[in-house]
């Protein structure tokens, strides 16, 4: 089960933390992309995630792999959804938004990830 690697007819773009964990267990070609500000990353982070603040995405877009699934996340999922849409408009077809952001990740996957306001 899980989600389709290709953007299927359902157009699924938001993935829950549990859906992401299930897919990560099956394969290694996924990258977590943290678009929060550096001060937020100092509070908490997801291990092995690549950090590029939202405002720097346009200038660093070439650093992102087009041959992997990108799961973009922020605090609550709003900024990351904007980044996901931006990346899709710029030719990234394998990009998804972490629904509920790192906050939901903390609740559903890893309680060691500190929650903040």
Instruction: Please give the C-alpha separations between residue 67 and each of 28, 36, 55, 93, 115, in angstroms, as whole numbers.
Output: 12, 23, 23, 9, 32
CA distance 90 to 93: 9
List of E strands, 1-117: 14-15, 30-34, 50-51, 69-73, 95-98
Q: Does the annotation count 74 as an active-site position?
A: yes
Catalytic residue among 49, 64, 74, 95: 74
* Helices 17-26 and 101-108: angle between axes, nearest 10 degrees: 70
CB atoms closer than 10 angstroms to residue 22: 14
CB atoms closer than 10 angstroms to residue 59: 9
User: Among all residues, which ones are annotated catalytic?
Assistant: 74
């Amino acid at each position: 089960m899980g989600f389709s690697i290709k953007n299927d007819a359902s157009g699924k773009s938001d993935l829950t933390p549990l859906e992401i964990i299930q897919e990560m267990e099956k394969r290694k070609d996924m990258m977590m992309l943290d678009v929060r500000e550096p001060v937020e990353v100092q509070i908490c982070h997801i291990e092995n995630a690549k950090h590029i603040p939202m405002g720097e995405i346009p200038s660093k877009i070439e650093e992102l792999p087009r041959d992997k699934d990108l799961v973009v996340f922020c605090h609550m999922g709003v900024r990351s959804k904007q980044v996901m849409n931006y990346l899709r408009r710029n030719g990234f077809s394998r990009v998804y938004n972490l629904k509920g952001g790192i906050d939901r990740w903390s609740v559903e996957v890893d309680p060691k990830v500190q929650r903040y306001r």
